[in-house]
């Protein structure tokens, strides 16, 4: 069993080795030679070890269901750990004077690249990147260099569609049943093709296509809104923000995220990438490739996401009107609610200065729910939230029906018998309970370990942001945070990306093995 798991993890590490080489091209373009050295050494080390392990494992059994879940948990953990190596390497190789040269002219602060001489900060940044969260130890993003900024956004983009999905798209020799199990362990969307490997390739095709469209859209929009903005910077920003937006990762190339543009029109421009990122990939495939435009309203998740974005943005704006220190509540409310619901995490407001009520509304109404299942979002997903409210109405209606009545329930264009509905509700309810318990215990730790000056609402917000892979922050997550709290957020981001269950399966196997136990 463990040889099977090790072989699949080695495959993922081979892909990671290639991923790490890509930012090296950016390092060459901008003449960041110490960064190039860090990327090359990291890639060679990771690829070499992975290749040696892969070639040494022959006649390995195909993965079964429990093994596929362990592969998802351990595979993502190793991607996070090994993906942190370039941050550490580059921080160690780059001299202080070169680091300071990355700081934009006219500004005087210490390069954030120094933060990555701390291995824990590297692990945090890698976790936030690959899980598409967006919390960061790069307090001043422009001061880490162009290639490392690109690596952060590129990591989010790769992590958004998924490493296991990428492995299925690249490697042809994975058998059909094993491919199906591995796909199901990471991707929550429906199959687009009859063959799982073809589905994986279709996912990546539409993912690349939409990202390209968003990059062009952002470049053109920025060109007309900010005509004096340098063309080279515009191109770099558009590419990175398109990757971060489509993956709902939320990293930015600017200090203060999208607020760095200091333009209300630019914030309006960035609403579309967040909304598109919040849609499911199967929907985007059918909407763009199959040209089924009716799905924009007929798809249950897409319709609910659009309605929630509009209503939630309005409600948050109203709450911010009564909040102290908010100069433009409508502007902040609409942008931040869409950012929270889509779990993108681009920030234009000082959320730490908000009153408790709008902060908690963001948590309950946006960040915990998240966007569409089958996409790159975090949270419990809109489909589960819709199922739970449908189940609540169904259970109440049963009270008024006779005991012999058997009525099917229509949900998401399916008719479910009572037994099927109960099973679906049990799954959704159990996941939601575990999810909320993670947030609860993380909040308790946050309250204990956070620095002075933060409230309970701030702690809830930060914990929900890490668990939902959102990336919005009240300020608790920064390089000075307690290491224990930093580790807790790393675990949360990891669990949030693969939806918790694979991690629980891994813990169960480590503690008790694979034998069936009485419960």
What pLDDT is recorded for position 417?
A: 85
What pLDDT is recorded for position 67?
A: 82
Between 287 and 189, residue with greater pLDDT: 287
3 state SS of 146: helix
Q: DSSP assignment of 30-49, as one string? A: TT-HHHHHHHHHHHHHHHHH
Q: Which residues have CB under 8 Å from 295's CB, separation 6+?
A: 283, 286, 287, 302
Between 270 and 504, residue with greater pLDDT: 270
Report whether pLDDT(451) > 90: yes
Average pLDDT, integer, range 48-71:
84
Q: Which residues have CB under 8 Å from 18's CB, separation 6+?
A: 43, 47
Report whether pLDDT(185) > 60: no
Between 444 and 189, residue with greater pLDDT: 444
DSSP 61: P
**How confident is residue 496, by pLDDT bands cut at 50, 70 and 90?**
very high
Query: pLDDT tens digits, residue range 287-320?
Result: 998 899 998 999 999 999 999 999 999 999 999 9
What is the rounded average pLDDT for all residues in the chain? 91
Distance in angstroms (rounded) separating the CA atoms of residues 20 and 155: 9
Query: pLDDT tens digits, residue range 124-141?
Result: 999 999 999 999 999 899
What pLDDT is recorded for position 117?
A: 97
What pLDDT is recorded for position 187?
A: 57
Asked whether 127 and 133 are in contact (CB, 8 A), the reply is yes
In 10 A of CB 381, how many CB atoms? 25
Report whether pLDDT(183) > 70: no
Place of tokens 């069993």: 1
Whether the CA torsion 95, 101, 104, 107 is positive or negative: it is positive
Distance in angstroms (rounded) separating the CA atoms of residues 496 and 197: 25
Average pLDDT, integer, range 410-431:
89
Distance in angstroms (rounded) separating the CA atoms of residues 124 and 366: 24
Distance in angstroms (rounded) separating the CA atoms of residues 346 and 278: 13
Q: Which residues have CB under 8 Å from 147's CB, separation 6+?
A: 23, 24, 26, 27, 30, 32, 35, 36, 39
Asked whether 156 and 346 are in contact (CB, 8 A), the reply is no
**How confident is residue 190, by pLDDT bands cut at 50, 70 and 90?**
low
Distance in angstroms (rounded) separating the CA atoms of residues 73 and 495: 8
Q: Which of 220-229, 274-283, 340-349, 407-416 has the lowest mean pLDDT?
A: 407-416
With a pLDDT cut of 90, the percent of the chain lying above it is 71
Average pLDDT, integer, range 337-344:
97
Average pLDDT, integer, range 152-179:
77
Report whether pLDDT(406) > 70: no
Asked whether 470 and 347 are in contact (CB, 8 A), the reply is no
In 10 A of CB 40, how many CB atoms? 16
Report whether pLDDT(325) > 90: no
Backbone angles phi, psi at 175, to 5 degrees: -60, 160
Rg, C-alpha atoms of the chain: 23
For residue 158, give Cα distances in angstroms to 15, 23, 81, 464: 10, 13, 15, 23
Residue 160's nearest CA partner among 375, 337, 11 is 375
For residue 389, give both structure tokens: 């409210």
**How confident is residue 254, by pLDDT bands cut at 50, 70 and 90?**
very high
What pLDDT is recorded for position 58?
A: 76
Distance in angstroms (rounded) separating the CA atoms of residues 330 and 317: 5
Q: Which residues have CB under 8 Å from 278's CB, separation 6+?
A: 248, 305, 309, 338, 341, 342, 343, 344, 371, 372, 375, 377
With a pLDDT cut of 70, the percent of the chain lying above it is 94
Report whether pLDDT(471) > 90: yes
Q: Which of 8-12, 162-166, 478-482 has the lowest mean pLDDT?
A: 162-166
Query: pLDDT tens digits, residue range 415-424?
Result: 888 888 999 9
Whether the CA torsion 241, 243, 249, 252 is positive or negative: it is negative
3 state SS of 416: strand
Whether the CA torsion 160, 164, 165, 170 is positive or negative: it is positive
Distance in angstroms (rounded) separating the CA atoms of residues 280 and 290: 15
Q: CA angle, corner 189, sides to 185 and 193, nearest 5?
A: 100
Q: DSSP assignment of 172-216, as one string? A: S-S-HHHHHHHHHHH--SPPSSSSHHHHHHHHHHHHHHHHHHHHH
* Biggest distance spanned by C-alpha atoms of the chain: 79
Report whether pLDDT(175) > 60: no
Angle between helices 382-399 and 418-449 (to 10 degrees): 120
User: CB-hemisphere CA count at 13 Å for 401?
Assistant: 12
Residue 54's nearest CA partner among 16, 95, 81, 87 is 16
For residue 86, give Cα distances in angstroms to 30, 36, 41: 17, 10, 8
Report whether pLDDT(506) > 80: yes
Distance in angstroms (rounded) separating the CA atoms of residues 202 and 109: 45
Average pLDDT, integer, range 54-66:
80
Q: Where are the domains of the chain?
A: 1-187, 193-441
For residue 257, give both structure tokens: 């995220």
What pLDDT is recorded for position 25?
A: 97
Distance in angstroms (rounded) separating the CA atoms of residues 78 and 56: 19
Report whether pLDDT(181) > 80: no
Report whether pLDDT(4) > 90: no
């Amino acid at each position: 069993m463990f040889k099977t798991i090790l072989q699949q993890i080695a495959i993922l590490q081979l892909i990671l080795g290639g991923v790490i080489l890509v930012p090296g091209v950016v390092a060459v373009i901008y003449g960041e030679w110490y960064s190039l050295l860090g990327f090359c050494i990291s890639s060679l080390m990771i690829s070499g070890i992975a290749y040696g392990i892969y070639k040494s494992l022959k006649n390995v059994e195909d993965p079964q269901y429990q093994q596929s879940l362990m592969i998802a948990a351990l595979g993502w953990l190793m991607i996070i750990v090994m993906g942190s190596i370039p941050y550490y390497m580059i921080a160690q190789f780059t001299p202080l004077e070169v680091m300071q040269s990355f700081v934009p002219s006219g500004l005087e602060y210490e390069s954030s690249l120094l933060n990555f001489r701390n291995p824990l900060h590297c692990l945090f940044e890698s976790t936030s990147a690959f899980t598409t969260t967006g919390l960061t130890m790069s307090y001043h993003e422009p001061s880490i260099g162009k290639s490392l900024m690109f690596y952060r956004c590129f990591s989010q983009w790769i992590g958004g569609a998924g490493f296991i999905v990428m492995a299925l798209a690249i490697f042809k020799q994975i058998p059909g049943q094993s491919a199906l199990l591995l796909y199901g362990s990471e991707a929550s969307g429906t199959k687009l093709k009859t063959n799982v490997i073809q589905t994986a390739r279709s996912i990546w095709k539409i993912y690349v296509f939409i990202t390209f469209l968003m990059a062009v859209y952002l470049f053109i929009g920025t060109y007309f809104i900010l005509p004096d903005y340098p063309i080279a910077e515009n191109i770099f920003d558009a590419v990175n923000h398109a990757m971060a937006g489509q993956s709902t990762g939320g990293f930015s190339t600017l200090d203060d995220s999208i607020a760095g543009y200091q333009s209300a029109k630019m914030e309006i421009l960035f609403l579309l990438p967040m909304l598109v990122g919040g849609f499911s990939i199967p929907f985007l495939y059918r909407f763009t490739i199959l040209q089924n435009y009716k799905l924009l309203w007929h798809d249950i998740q897409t319709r609910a996401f659009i309605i929630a974005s509009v209503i939630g943005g309005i409600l948050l704006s109203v709450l911010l009107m009564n909040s102290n220190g908010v100069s433009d509540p409508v502007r902040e409310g609409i942008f931040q609610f869409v950012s929270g619901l889509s779990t993108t995490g681009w920030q234009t407001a000082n959320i730490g200065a908000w009153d408790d009520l709008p902060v908690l509304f963001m948590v309950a109404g946006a960040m915990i729910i998240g966007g569409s299942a089958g996409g790159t979002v975090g949270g419990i997903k809109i489909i589960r939230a819709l199922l739970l409210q449908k189940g609540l109405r169904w259970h109440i209606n049963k009270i008024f029906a006779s005991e012999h009545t058997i009525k099917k329930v229509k949900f998401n264009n399916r008719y479910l018998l009572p037994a099927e509905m109960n099973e679906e509700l049990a799954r959704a309810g159990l996941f939601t309970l575990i999810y909320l318990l993670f947030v609860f215990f993380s909040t308790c730790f946050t309250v204990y370990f956070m620095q002075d000056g933060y409230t309970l609402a701030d702690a809830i917000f930060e914990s929900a942001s890490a668990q939902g892979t959102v990336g919005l922050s009240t300020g608790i997550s920064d390089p000075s945070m307690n290491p224990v709290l930093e580790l807790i957020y790393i675990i949360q981001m990891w669990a949030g990306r693969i939806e918790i269950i694979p991690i629980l399966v891994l813990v169960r196997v480590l503690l008790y093995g694979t034998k069936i136990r009485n419960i």
